[in-house]
Structure 1
Amino acid sequence: MDGYDALLAALDCPTWLRQLRQGAYLTEAFFGDDAPPLWYGCPPALVPIMSDGSSTHYKGLWINWFRRPARSYVVTEPENGFLLEEVAITDDQFAVWIIINAIVAEDGVSEDITRFHEISCPIDLSRILAYVKRRGDDPEYLDELDIFRSPRPAWIGCQTDRNYGVLRTDGTGSRRMELSPGLELDPQERILAAETPDAAPWLRRDAPVARLFDDYLSSGRQAEAWATLNSTGWSLPDARAAAERLAATTDLPGLALQLRAWIAFSQQTDMPERYGY
């Protein structure tokens, strides 16, 4: 059991999710993916489930300990600044999404997909296959399946309704982004926040994130420290040091587990100066 497996167990995540992350299922369908995932650089809020070295993207669980709902399943990559494609909010949604993508990748239903479906999915496999034959894995049409309608993930639905990020729709403008890490925002929100005087300091252009983090942590403002740590502007060595300090300080055991798992994950590289976000 590594640090992330311990975290998923502590969060009472489904056993199948932990097994998927360890490579027990769907390795043929996602033959280009690594499970367990490999380090290509990622922020602490992301719990990688699978990684793809050819496009350096992650399928993973994004966790924010200071908002509700706290979890989102996302696809993200360092090449576009870790824009988050929220493909699921619930475990059941993620199971359906990953099975749809596996069927498309395999061009059919393999024994492995059938086995994974049996332990994970609330929707009949024949119904999923019928959907895939009509629509493939295009996120534009996934809300034709009832399971994706409520709650609706931000990356699911027609293009006019779909957006990056994991913020819910309550609130507007800078108020909506009050305690949000910069990496949770969509591109337009990132631009708006960078130029808005009353936006959170860690969202401003060229924000001194390491200094802001120190100020927040020393004053006991863990939510602001977490938001700053998951915004842009960090080198990997500085982010590791900040994560160590927050893990040692926080009164949230799950947050400490996640930070220590991320630190250990990031040590897959012997060239930390190459990575940042």
Structure 2
Amino acid sequence: MSTPTSHPTSHPVAIPMPPLGLGTFRLKGQVVIDAVKSGLSLGYRHIDTAQIYGNEAEVGQAIAESGLPRAELFVTTKIWTEQLAGDRLIPSLRESLAKLRMTAVDLTLIHWPSPGGAVPLKNTLDALIEAKRLGLTRAIGLSNFTVGQMREAIDLVGVGELATNQVEIHPFLQNRQVVDHAKAAGLPLTAYMPLAYGKVMTEPVLLDIAARHGTTPAQVSLAWLLQRGFAVIPSSTKPANQAANLEALRLRLSDDDMTRIATLDRGERLANPDFAPAWD
């Protein structure tokens, strides 16, 4: 469907999600401005934010001041739980766009399933599809959805309508049931907290693999995720670490490396608020 003239987009043809993005969780104020500017200058073209992060305005400022054409960037935001109702979602997305200084984002996610199922998923997905029709977002998707919730979403709108399910995946939480179901269903996954808040840096197996490749445990963790077909969105404020993370795109791990990392799963979930769904 053509985009209504009252909601113009700066580039109507969506670009694919770059596999390595820059996360902005927990980054505020000048810290996030500097981090996004640095990331963009180093070559990141995928920026991930969310309404609840309280930094959309700063992310928008950094993107605007970077001077990069909007058409070269892939920007994701996420709808918070209090805005999932059909009459709230689109107004809240418009507020996000105003903060981001954009007419459209590339991807809008349901940040968390509605706590206790208070808002029917159909209600939220219908509103997201309407937001897409209006040209406010080029794609829609899920975050923190369990196997059952993914199944429900796919039944409601079809897997082709969903760009991703963004979930916590790192060597210590490999989320195998969600990963296996998403793969079987054809739903791409995005891994957040891929470095487990830096815990990967002290893991002996990752340190050993990194030493043999002449790299860092962080790069090994990111390369492991990328080679498994996930998009990854590490968060980093230091330019040197941002640049190092980009190098993961060029690191190739052996089958033995991948097998060794697979043994590190210990179900260590870091994002587990009291309103989280019943995890698989």
TM-based fold match above 0.5: no
Q: TM-score range by the shorter chain?
A: under 0.3
Instruction: Provide the TM-score with structure 2 as the length reference.
Output: 0.27
